[in-house]
A and B are shown apart, each in its own frame.
Chain A
Amino acid sequence: MGDILLQLNNISVVYSNVIQVLKGVSLTVERGNIVSLLGSNGAGKTTTLKAISGLLKPENGEVTDGDIICNGVNIQNQSPEFITRQGIIQVLEGRQPFKYLTIEENLRVGTATRPGKPYKQDMELVYHYFPALVQRRKALAGYCSGGELQMLVIGRALMAHPQLLMLDEPSLGLAPLVVQEIFRIIKKINEEHATTIVLVEQNANMALQVAHYGYVMENGKIVMEGTSKELSDNPDVKEFYLGMAASGIAKSYKDVKSYRRRKRWL
């Protein structure tokens, strides 16, 4: 085990004091790794991210049990202002740009964790990763395309100098080529800056290609973990997330309907 950046110990999350979403989730993120979090809709992936970044409170959620430790600091139920200043930045699901701000102003909001500090160099860096943004820098974000916006929100998060970058479904609603481009850049950011990345994805195939380690969530629990290699070789993951039969070949929908492999971990 290498150097551990973030550790979740057995956390439970409850919304509105009644709805329990996470039922004892534990995971560790090593420094410099890309960790992917897989699972179907409603498994609790986004909630896990929000528990880490402190964004549960506006949605009336609370970490009721367990602890979240980042760099030796206890951060569960802290305010988002505090957590972002620890270097943890979450990129929200579904691209949430500031529609009435230009691309450049959007990027400047990313400096909120260190107001008043110089930011020009970081902006150059973002433009270096996402050259598509350069010619749109004066355009209102509300008028940009989905791909540009996804680049924008990742770039905006980079402006904050994150130690830990959490991406929530960066491939949502994007064309396959754009998805590939985005993942290529994610990989590059990870390699060049040693930024630790937690990746929540529906597109398990893409995610396992770039990630070092992966967790599979179901019903608010972690049901399986392993290196990307182990996961993509696992017959259950193949069947349920990669859309392949246990034997490793892509299969037709006819078989999916007639026979479902029983999940081993349940």
Chain B
Amino acid sequence: MKKLSFHPCGNYRENYAQELSIFETWFGRVSLGVFLLILFGVAPFFLSPYLLYILNTIGILAIAAIGLNILVGYTGQISLGHGAFFGVGAYAAAILATRLDVPFYLSIPAAGFITALVGMIFGIPSGRLKGLYLTIATLAGQFIIEYVLIQWESLTKGTMGITLPGPSILGWTIAGDKAFFFLIFICLVLMTWFAVNIMRSKYGRAFIAIRDNDRAAEGMGIPIFKYKLLSFAISSFYAGFAGALWAYYMVSITTEPFNLGLSVEFIAMVIIGGMGNIPGAIFGATFITILNEILRYTTGVLMNVSVITSMGLNMAPLREFVFGLAIVLFILLEPKGLAELWRILRSNFRLWPFSY
């Protein structure tokens, strides 16, 4: 198929192959390649360990956020249990690695599949419930999973937490931020590629049909329950996969981080990034992670300013406040998220100086 050199100024697609193409021009394809080259060839060797740590966190969270975007942005099912699924993945990987000595390249996907199963169980209510009710059902799922993780001590060691062995392949142990960078970002690229292609398939179109009108979708012959469950499964697979990566990266895990706050952060990533947009999830994960780091740094600095400490003010809650504010402002001002801003920015460059 012929690739265009320039963006067409309208929709001139003539066949399905064109409709489904990811890159409209060769320029888009090349610039992605250049970006990946820089990411893998330059970033890990020149960035400080702290910046690499942030990048790695972004990579892991982005995988989970892509999964949530498939569920929320494409299938229209709101889930408040994504943080718990992330935790299920982390624990599944940890238990597989410590009890059964499964190597990491098997335990991470296995954790994904286990989480997908759990996700499907909590997706069952979606067969009967819509909108608000489903949201609340997933909220219940969040609390139940948290409880199980803490209370099932024979398996999860409860609040003690689990320490994982370092992942190794062919006698070479992956350790340190740089090595993990490659592991995480190769996974991210693969998972993104997979997600983009699911959305171009029959399954993706069925998801979108369900989001737009599930009754009409049913009328068109789409078995909606099956597809909703599938969407839950795929989304939890991503969460579990990311959680497993996280467990290996963090070395030791406890149940604490996998609370409702994390679920809310994931949804915030999807909304701030842009719903129904795969790169948007990556933008969202980047934004939230950087915002968290900046806020942590600022509150740290503010705590040491003598005027404030002498007034007895604790600045730590500022983080929570700004986080909430960011969500609210994005929803009010740019509900389509960063992906839309990115699109506007690009088209401004492209069309400059005649932007009409």
Direct contact of A and B (CB under 8 A): no
Show the binding face of A for B, using Cβ within 8 Å: none
